Structure 1
Amino acid sequence: MMNRLLPTSTAGSLPKPSWLAEPETLWSPWKLQGQELTDGKQDALRLALHEQQQAGLDIVSDGEQSRQHFVTTFIEHLDGVDFAKREIMRIRNRYEASVPSVVGAVSRQKPVFVEDARFLRQQTKQPIKWALPGPMTMIDTLYDGHYKSREQLAFEFAKILNQEAKELAAAGVDIIQFDEPAFNVFFDEVNDWGIAALEQAIAGLDCETAVHICYGYGIKANTDWKQTLGSEWRQYEAVFPKLRESSIDIISLECHNSRVPMDLLALIRGKKVMVGAIDVANHSIETPEEVAATLRQALQFVDADKLYPCTNCGMAPLPRQIARGKLQVLTAGAALVRSELASC
């Protein structure tokens, strides 16, 4: 299926069932404990996989069903971070949050997601994608009282991510995606050392790699920030040239219902591009034709064999029926364009 034209996938998270966590809520506490929680996470993963398959997605994921948050769930399994010692920090220059502190050398004593990935691999023969937080986004979610250097901490996390990624690949993951929304904010740091840290995270991997750079979940802090960005969102322009030169295989972007000038995609020509054709910031379900229109625009700047229709970002905060409908129109819109390309 990876050889199929316009293979579809999600950017990451899917809504959790109400018996596992509070619906439409980020960082929602688990409703189960102990073995019931372990079983519940696996049941939720099976359900997320089923809904992706029912919608017709080509590349599937776990829907992040075993994670409370796309960054902190990974960090809480590491040594050197104290979740009881918290500080107030501004996250990606958008909103303040109480975050854990780095109090010592960070390290990974055991795999974090490998067993979950192995379980997913057992459920399907389809290509699977697994998301990890990127090094720069990780450091932007912590107070660093130990290294006192964003660059040094990012590279320490990159080494840890590389360990995890290699074990995920060995467990059968086809694409490992690093989520880096921070790349849309800290442009100088991205070019100075952020992409280099990402290169460290993907070093030696024998599976495909992706970096997901979006404008965030459809939560108020993010939607308010977008209102300040003007008539054109040109943030990608600052990092695309160096990303094009990087070893990363796939770049995942937010395109639908955004003010991103589509011609910016020409700056990464030659890379595979996951084009966000589904808006996750509202409850309106797109039509297949709307999805197809976004993909047609992208095809002006991305070769058809390198275009992967996707969602703008994760859909954890959405109602399940809305997310389900959006997945269905994503595949329907991709099918329209696939048919048009076949008839050319």
Structure 2
Amino acid sequence: MTTKLLPTTVVGSYPQPDWLVDRQLLSKGVARVRLDLWRVGEPWLEQAQDDATLLAIRDMERAGIDIITDGEVRRESYSNRFATSLEGIASSKPGEVTSKAGLATAVPRVIGAVRRTHAVETRDMEFLRRNTGRMAKITLPGPFTMSRQAVNEYYKDDDEMVMDFAAAVNAEARDLEKAGADVIQLDEPWLRQDPPAAKRIAVKALDRALDGLTAATVVHLCFGYAAVVKGEKPVGYSFLGELDACKADQISIEAAQPKLDLGVLKELSSKKIMLGVIDLADPNAETAEIVADRIRAALKFLTPDRLVPAPDCGMKYLPRELAFAKLKALADGAAMVRSELG
């Protein structure tokens, strides 16, 4: 990791251009199975995705972000590209899960042993590494979250399924590290949805997924995209302090929109904290001063070397101009506080 104090980063995604994806279809929810959101067909799709990825990289660099991603431009969602590439997963005839709010979502079916048989994101990481000199991060869906976004029709023991997802993530992560990843992040928003199961298996699964890696590692938690989860968000996490025991170097949490009580940071005394200081529900860009105030509030509970300022969540649902403005405020606000620290 960079030795710079308060290094800024993104959670993962950046807005995809309107010429690349059908944003009306994208807005209907977070895809668990393949939806074919692309406006560009074969054989030009890969080239179009490369061009859009370069736009995302350059925007993050121009905004002044220290640790950047490829914007997850090649993905319909944060999870479906990797999850539906695994052996044992069937998505052509999807299953269905119902949320606590009663909303039904099409999801893959697990019909055999979950295995990773080929690289999924390695080319993405190689492309990012070739096109930036900055620290580079790539993200993967976490094993617990993938297991909750599928219908199990094969395993007698759900925990065995979670551990097979973890082994698949680890195989991919090892190749991403070889491809030049400085930071590897696992997205685990579903840890808070089922605390009893999370307490039983999540840390074990995360440790299996992160086993043997030398790159910096992050586990990201959030309450869902602001564009998808409407209304008030919880003001606290039902599964957080337990993650202090996992192998990850950093824990990433959403804090700006839900106005999280930052006292919870005391529960993660051994970790660096990637803290959400950009509210993605706010239709206006923060000022640098607002970001600086949020960073200063976190520094009441953390030493500066343990804080990594970031947006609350991925930015793919925002207009690109707004996303850029928010990232510029993030970089400028962090610079303000950095200068105060000497």
- Stretches (4+) displaced over 3 A: 91-95
- Say which SS state the counterpart of residue 273 (structure 2) adopts: strand
Equivalent position of 1:223 in the other structure: 230
Supply the distance in 1 between the matched residues of 2:269 and 2:303 (Cα, whole angstroms): 8
Q: Per-residue CA shift, 1:181-209, capped at 9, x if unaligned?
A: 01222212222111110110000011111
| Equivalent residue for 1:196, pick from 198, 201, 204 | 204
- Say which SS state the counterpart of residue 92 (structure 2) adopts: strand
- Counterparts in 2 of 1:272 and 1:113: CA distance versus 1, 3 Å: same
5 Å-filtered alignment, 1:55-74, equals: 55-74=63-82
Supply the distance in 2 between the matched residues of 1:250 and 1:92 (Cα, whole angstroms): 29
Equivalent position of 2:57 in the other structure: 49
Q: Per-residue CA shift, 1:263-310, capped at 9, x if unaligned?
A: 110111231111100011232211111111111111111110111010
**What's the RMSD between the two structures over aligned residues?**
1.6
Supply the distance in 1 between the matched residues of 2:305 and 2:196 (Cα, whole angstroms): 32
Tell me by how many angstroms 1:162 deviates: 0.2
Does residue 156 (structure 1) correspond to residue 164 (structure 2)? The answer is yes
Listed as ranges, the gaps of 5+ residues in structure 1 are none
> Could you say which structure has the higher helix fraction?
1
- Say which SS state the counterpart of residue 49 (structure 1) adopts: helix
Amino acid at match of 1:223: K
Equivalent position of 1:143 in the other structure: 151
Supply the distance in 2 between the matched residues of 1:93 and 1:152 (Cα, whole angstroms): 28
Q: Is the 8 A contact 1:253 1:273 kept in 2?
A: yes
5 Å-filtered alignment, 1:7-86, equals: 7-23=7-23, 25-26=26-27, 27=31, 29-86=37-94
Tell me by how many angstroms 1:23 deviates: 3.3
5 Å-filtered alignment, 1:287-306, equals: 287-306=287-306
Q: Is the 8 A contact 2:240 2:267 kept in 1?
A: no
Supply the distance in 1 between the matched residues of 2:127 and 2:14 (Cα, whole angstroms): 17
Tell me by how many angstroms 1:224 deviates: 3.9
Amino acid at match of 1:74: F
Q: Is the 8 A contact 2:232 2:258 kept in 1?
A: no
Supply the distance in 1 between the matched residues of 2:264 and 2:10 (Cα, whole angstroms): 22
Equivalent position of 2:247 in the other structure: 247
Alignment coverage as a number of residue pairs: 334
Supply the distance in 1 between the matched residues of 2:20 and 2:85 (Cα, whole angstroms): 21
- Counterparts in 2 of 1:168 and 1:274: CA distance versus 1, 3 Å: same
Equivalent position of 1:316 in the other structure: 316
Tell me by how many angstroms 1:82 deviates: 1.1
- Say which SS state the counterpart of residue 112 (structure 2) adopts: strand
- Counterparts in 2 of 1:92 and 1:291: CA distance versus 1, 3 Å: farther
Supply the distance in 2 between the matched residues of 1:94 and 1:292 (Cα, whole angstroms): 39
- Counterparts in 2 of 1:94 and 1:247: CA distance versus 1, 3 Å: farther
Supply the distance in 2 between the matched residues of 1:198 and 1:245 (Cα, whole angstroms): 10
- Say which SS state the counterpart of residue 34 (structure 1) adopts: coil
Supply the distance in 1 between the matched residues of 2:166 and 2:7 (Cα, whole angstroms): 29
- Say which SS state the counterpart of residue 89 (structure 2) adopts: strand
Supply the distance in 2 between the matched residues of 1:148 and 1:315 (Cα, whole angstroms): 37
| Equivalent residue for 2:213, pick from 205, 222, 230 | 205
Supply the distance in 1 between the matched residues of 2:296 and 2:255 (Cα, whole angstroms): 12
Q: Per-residue CA shift, 1:145-185, capped at 9, x if unaligned?
A: 11143311110000000000000000100110000001222
- Say which SS state the counterpart of residue 197 (structure 1) adopts: helix
- Counterparts in 2 of 1:114 and 1:77: CA distance versus 1, 3 Å: same
Q: Is the 8 A contact 2:257 2:280 kept in 1?
A: no
Does residue 105 (structure 1) correspond to residue 107 (structure 2)? The answer is no
Equivalent position of 1:333 in the other structure: 333
Equivalent position of 1:284 in the other structure: 284
Tell me by how many angstroms 1:65 deviates: 0.4
- Say which SS state the counterpart of residue 211 (structure 1) adopts: strand
Supply the distance in 2 between the matched residues of 1:137 and 1:279 (Cα, whole angstroms): 23
Tell me by how many angstroms 1:261 deviates: 0.7
Supply the distance in 1 between the matched residues of 2:102 and 2:54 (Cα, whole angstroms): 35
TM-score (norm 2): 0.94
